[in-house]
Amino acid sequence: MNAEFQLKLQAYFDGELSAREAREIESILAAHADARALLAELRRTTEVLISHEAEVKLPESREFYWSKIQREIQRQEAGSHSASMPRPSWSRFLMPSGAIVALVLAGWFGAFEMGWLSRGGRSPQIETYLADSGAMTYRDEIERTTVVWLSYPAENEFAHADPADTIR
Amino acid sequence: MTERPAPAPDDQAFVRAAQRGDMVAYEELVARHRDKIYARAYSMMRNEDDAVDLSQEAWVKGWQRLKQFQGESSFATWMTRIVINLCLDQLRRQKRYRAESIEMLDEESGGVERQMPVVTVNPTERLERTELRQRIDQALDQLSETHRMVLVLCEFEELEYKEIAKAMKCSIGTVMSRLFYARRKLAALLADLKKPE
């Protein structure tokens, strides 16, 4: 039996041949015991396999199995429903303002992260003393450094004091 | 005179109700056919978890496509096609990450199955049914996914070669060759089944 005949014999078993081809195979089967043996093997293998298939049962209870299906159906339907909901006409005005709010928030968050905005007293602080509006201090808590700027001449009551008070 | 119980409504009535959105009717259809759909998924995947997941996914898809079901085939057959396609997709995805099996190389490099001696497969005479089932399971596990798939589509689904070729995206010649290999290998594995004397 060559390979071509073996595949043709299988096609005969599966009912895939034309009437003429089937007759040819039947005449060969009548004359060759090895062809009949192969056909019997194909037939028996199929029988065993099919009888075995009927035994498989789902290992879960009806309620448990169905609950997951139901949840998934409801989840997908909820998703598709919200996606297909028509938007009110005024909603188009929300989109640009929403973008602006998002940008402001992003900028604020970025500034916060970069330390430009106060974070619990640990960031640098700039203070102006009201008593002397010409003086300004800079305090960096992390570096434990304080820098004071003084304008000269100061524009306050002390600017016109006796020069004797001035340290030389 | 005892009154006969009314026959259970057929699938059609439940299908029509489910097509109108009745989920209780669909639950009844699931209850009726869940074992068959699961069995088909299991025969292809050979893994309980995968089979449960894919069969449930098939029921979700079935609900979504229910309006397309025109009744050309039975509802169970229609659902079986859905689960088969899901299994084939899953196996294709898995295969992308795996090398071809040695069996595939055997098949393509000359066809060892064609030289195998013909065997007499008659294990039922000597084995208990449970034991036989276990041994057939083991034999099926030894087939590659591709060979198991072609076997399932031909033996259980009784698809024609051209339908199998379409589902598996290969030629009819390849289907014939794979099917022959799968049957012969299975026959050889089952021929060894002998209960100790």
Cβ contact, residue pair B156, A70, below 8 Å: no
Take residue B72 and report the two structure tokens written for it.
């050309």
Nearest-Cα distance to chain B for A8, in Å, is 9
Nearest-Cα distance to chain A for B27, in Å, is 7
Which chain A residues have any C-beta within 8 angstroms of a chain B C-beta?
3, 6-7, 10-11, 14, 16, 34, 37-38, 40-42, 44-46, 48-60, 62, 65-66, 68-70, 72-73, 76
- DSSP one-letter code for A71: H
Nearest-Cα distance to chain B for A28, in Å, is 17
pLDDT at B190: 86
pLDDT at A162: 46
Domain residue extents for chain B: 11-95, 102-191
Burial degree of B29 (CB within 10 A; 0-12, 13-18, 19+): buried
Does some domain include residue A12? yes
Cα dihedral B68, B72, B73, B76, rounded to 10, equals 30
Does some domain include residue A89? no
Does some domain include residue A136? yes
Question: Which domain, by its residues, includes A20?
Answer: 3-51
- What is the complex's ipTM, to 2 decimals? 0.76
pLDDT tens sequence across A14-71 = 999 999 999 999 999 999 999 999 999 999 999 888 887 666 788 888 889 999 999 9
Does some domain include residue A79? no
pLDDT tens sequence across A131-143 = 445 556 667 766 7
Does some domain include residue A103? no
How many CB atoms lie under 10 A from the CB of residue B139? Answer: 22
- Please name every residue paired with A145 in a beta bridge, in sequence order, or none if there are none: A140
Q: Which residues of A touch B160 (CB under 8 A)?
A: 16
pLDDT tens sequence across A98-125 = 667 667 776 666 665 555 555 444 445 5
- Integer Cα distance of B157 and B150 in angstroms: 10
pLDDT at A159 over 50: no
Nearest to B178 by CA among B159, B164, B158, B157: B164
pLDDT at A158: 46
- Integer Cα distance of A78 and A66 in angstroms: 18
Burial degree of B8 (CB within 10 A; 0-12, 13-18, 19+): exposed
Nearest-Cα distance to chain B for A29, in Å, is 15
Sheet holding A135-140, edge to edge: A125-128, A135-140, A145-150
Cβ contact, residue pair A48, B123, below 8 Å: yes
Instruction: State pTM to two decimals.
Output: 0.65
How many CB atoms lie under 10 A from the CB of residue B65? Answer: 11
Cβ contact, residue pair A50, B156, below 8 Å: yes
Does some domain include residue A56? no
Cβ contact, residue pair A73, B23, below 8 Å: yes
B35 close contact with A: CB closer than 8 A? yes
Residues of chain B whose pLDDT is less than 50?
Answer: 99-100, 102, 105, 108-110, 194-197
pLDDT at A153 over 60: no
CATH number corresponding to B102-191: 1.10.10.10
Count up the domains in chain A and report the number.
Answer: 2
pLDDT tens sequence across B161-171 = 999 999 999 99
Q: Which residues of B touch A52 (CB under 8 A)?
A: 132-133, 136-137
CATH number corresponding to B11-95: 1.10.1740.10
How many CB atoms lie under 10 A from the CB of residue B99? Answer: 8
Nearest to B187 by CA among B122, B141, B106: B122
Q: Which residues of A touch B117 (CB under 8 A)?
A: none
**SS3 for B120?**
coil
Nearest-Cα distance to chain B for A12, in Å, is 11
